[in-house]
């Protein structure tokens, strides 16, 4: 028995004489000590959401239940306010101050003995039937107005002063304050007293800081590009605020030429 104990003692002594034993023991002990400290601290200090305070508000002080605006909305591409582009035509073009006289004439709306520059696009179905009018961009409905002259109006606000306007609509599906996503149904196309020649259609406008822009220039472009568009107050002196005229522009009156007594011309005031 003693002989066996002596052998075991001799084996332990031999083991501890090896150079790597004590460093290994030290490392194991240190690892256990560090693990114990970390576990203790974690159990006594539960991790909180760094962006949410105890009062239910985020670090900016806003209630965390408020809806968050998706960042990718800024990168949406502007689309026509219809379900299928191939099924529609543009009945009246946007009045471009830089276009040829012929193109400008095609973009005038005849209102009795007056002319009005068209500040948007009048879009109709190829077969003349009613069609669904949808949001060209995501945004928030700013106003919904009944208007016999313009055929009812929906305005949708976007970022940085950009507004899209839908006139000559009926069976409206949204109300002021609603958030809409691109492609959401807004209303059905209709008619207006102002532009009876367009028959059943939707009058669509894009405005930046209340200045009308040519929608065709921005179809397929992102909202970011649109929000950076430069507007020139002097380009179309006939523009008025949305909803106060047009398909929105100042009246232009016919005046007979004194030289011929029969020629008629329209002047943009």
The CA-based angle 245-251-254, given to 5 degrees, is: 155
Q: What is the pLDDT of residues 13-38, one digit of tens each?
A: 665 566 666 677 777 777 777 877 77
Question: Given this model, what pLDDT does residue 58 score?
Answer: 44
CA-CA distance, 93 to 71, in Å (whole number)? 32
Strands (E), 54-191: 88-92, 108-111, 114-117, 121-125, 132-134, 139-145, 153-157, 162-167, 169-170, 179-180, 185-189
pTM given for the model? 0.62
Question: Given this model, what pLDDT does residue 13 score?
Answer: 63
Chain centre to alpha carbon of residue 259: 53
Residues of the chain with CATH 2.70.70.10: 79-253
Question: Given this model, what pLDDT does residue 147 score?
Answer: 86
Q: What is the pLDDT of residues 173-202, one digit of tens each?
A: 999 999 999 999 999 999 988 888 889 999
Architecture of domain 79-253: Distorted Sandwich (2.70)
Q: Counting beta carbons within 10 angstroms of the beta carbon of residue 119, is it exposed (0 to 12), middle (13 to 18) or buried (19 or more)?
A: buried
- State which residues of the chain have pLDDT below 70: 1-22, 43-74, 231-269
Question: Given this model, what pLDDT does residue 173 score?
Answer: 96
């Amino acid at each position: 028995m003693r002989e066996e104990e002596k052998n075991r003692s001799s084996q332990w002594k031999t083991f501890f004489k090896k150079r790597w034993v004590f460093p290994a023991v030290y490392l194991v002990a240190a690892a256990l000590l560090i693990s114990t400290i970390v576990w203790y601290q974690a159990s006594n200090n539960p991790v909180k959401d760094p962006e949410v305070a105890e009062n239910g508000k985020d670090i900016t002080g806003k209630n965390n239940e408020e809806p968050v605006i998706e960042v990718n909305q800024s990168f949406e591409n502007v689309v026509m306010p219809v379900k299928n582009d191939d099924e529609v035509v543009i009945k009246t073009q946007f009045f471009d101050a830089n276009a040829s006289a012929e193109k400008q004439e095609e973009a005038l709306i005849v209102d009795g003995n007056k002319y009005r520059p068209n500040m948007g696009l009048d879009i109709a179905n190829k077969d003349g039937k009613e069609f669904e009018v949808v949001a060209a961009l995501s945004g928030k409905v700013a106003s919904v107005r009944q208007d016999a002259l313009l055929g009812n109006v929906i305005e949708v606000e976007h970022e940085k002063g950009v507004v899209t306007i839908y006139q000559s609509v009926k069976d409206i599906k949204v109300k002021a304050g609603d958030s809409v996503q691109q492609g959401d149904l807004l209303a059905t196309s209709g008619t207006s007293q102002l532009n009876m020649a367009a028959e059943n259609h939707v009058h669509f406008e894009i405005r930046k800081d209340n200045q009308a822009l040519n929608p065709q220039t921005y179809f397929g472009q992102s909202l970011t590009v649109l929000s950076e568009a430069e507007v020139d107050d002097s380009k179309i002196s006939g523009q008025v605020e949305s909803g106060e005229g047009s398909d929105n522009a100042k009246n232009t009156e016919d005046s007979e030429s004194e030289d011929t007594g029969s020629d008629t011309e329209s002047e943009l005031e």
